[in-house]
Amino acid sequence: MLQAFRNGRIFTDAGFETGKTLLVRDGRIEALLGASQVLGADRVIDLQGRRLVPGYIDTQVNGGGGVLFNEKPTVASIAAIGAAHRRFGTTGFLPTLISDDLAVVELAIEAVRDAISQKVPGVLGIHIEGPFLSPERRGVHDASKLRTIDEEALRLLSTPHGGVTMVTLAPEETTPETIRALTDAGVIVSAGHTDATYDELQPALANGLRGFTHLFNAMSGLGSREPGAVGAALASEDSWCGLIVDGHHVHAETLKIALRAKRHDHFLLVTDAMPSVGAETKSFQIQGRPITLVGTINGDKIVDGDGRLAGAHLDMASAVRNAVDMLGLKLDAALRMASANPAAFLKLEGKLGRIAAGQDDRLDVINTWIDGEPATA
């Protein structure tokens, strides 16, 4: 099947280009040609002047469509979450499991393995956020679930399943050798829910720590005498930083300062989305605790019974808009933070995140294409 996308503004490495035709064969981008070149395409899609951009890649998706991954770690749940977020332009995602027992972690990994083998649209792997976290920075994670990484946990986290495994941990709660063992096994290791000092993070970075989960939130802050995890993240040129741009998790001016301190190509937008995204759900439970969506002057937020933030009511299309409106980013930069940058963070830049020859076809919000298949005909 050869499809031709024409008459649009196509976002490439050079920015938005007009007068071009994008050819996609069997789910992979084949070429970007002149406007009139369709070369016997089986199907021509007229974009009617709209923007065509790479599909968004979200590395932190706890839920959506009324489903929380922790509560139902199944293939059906992954499919429902993916379908909910696809409406907002997310065509690649990591279903995210917050701190839980290892038996639940194993069930979640098995569900992801089955979802990938069954070609559930958009699923790229799994994000295991905890339970290897700092008790002092656990946020809404259940304290009774927290633990250190032993041999059993290391074996489980290193189990291949056909996709990406991302693990968020507190580096001070483990060892540099364990971080090296995980990275050598192909795991993407990110620091989060951490009370680590700047000095404690240096050996972790030297042994493969790749990123920082939701920068500023649930981590030691930047101080005058102790740079903390935030300082380590911004000082490290090679590390990646996830940003929740929802108007609640981090003040816009704080994010602007971070963006002035570090290369933009090492920031990625994340949603930290909960079941309310793409659903009428106003309340749900996390491990038996009530969680509620409440309206504020700055938009909806999700809190637990004590008023603490418990994930976000955020989709990637809104995250991109917020990055432009709240942070003053140019649209090009915001789009890359939602597509090319997370693809590179996950080491998938050769397949996803860009409109260029050889990339998978994961594209637009008016409609989305995953492996060449549109959401709506």
For the stretch 71-99, pLDDT in tens is: 999 999 999 999 999 999 999 999 999 99
Residues 99 and 11 in one domain: no
At 254-276, the pLDDT tens digits run: 999 999 999 999 999 999 999 99
Residues 113 and 200 in one domain: yes
Average pLDDT over residues 266-295: 94
Q: Is residue 276 part of a domain?
A: yes
Give the rounded percent of residues in the chain with a pLDDT score beyond 70: 96
Provide the pLDDT for residue 362: 46
At 111-167, the pLDDT tens digits run: 999 999 999 999 999 999 999 999 999 999 999 999 999 999 999 999 999 999 999
Q: What is the CATH number of the domain that holds 325?
A: 3.20.20.140
Range of the domain at 43: 2-53+363-374
Residues 109 and 124 in one domain: yes
Q: Please identify which of the residues 272, 315, 360, 361 carries the catalytic annotation.
A: 272
Residues 168 and 246 in one domain: yes
Q: Is residue 354 part of a domain?
A: no
What is the count of structural domains for the chain? 2
Residues 24 and 102 in one domain: no
Q: Is residue 38 part of a domain?
A: yes
User: What is the pLDDT confidence band of residue 34, given thresholds at 50, 70 and 90?
Assistant: confident
Q: Is residue 195 annotated as part of the catalytic site, yes or no?
A: no
Provide the pLDDT for residue 36: 66
Q: Is residue 352 part of a domain?
A: no
- Statement: residue 252 has pLDDT above 90: yes
Residues 33 and 166 in one domain: no
Residues 219 and 292 in one domain: yes
Residues 207 and 327 in one domain: yes
Provide the pLDDT for residue 138: 96
Q: Is residue 353 part of a domain?
A: no
Residues 211 and 125 in one domain: yes
Q: What is the CATH number of the domain that holds 35?
A: 2.30.40.10
Q: Is residue 80 part of a domain?
A: yes
**358 vs 344 pLDDT, higher one:** 344
Residues 224 and 296 in one domain: yes
Residues 20 and 65 in one domain: no
- Statement: residue 364 has pLDDT above 50: no
At 323-332, the pLDDT tens digits run: 999 999 999 9
Residues 204 and 295 in one domain: yes
Provide the pLDDT for residue 368: 77
pTM for this model (two decimals): 0.94
Q: What dihedral do alpha carbons 91, 97, 185, 55 form, nearest 10°?
A: 10
Q: Is residue 315 part of a domain?
A: yes
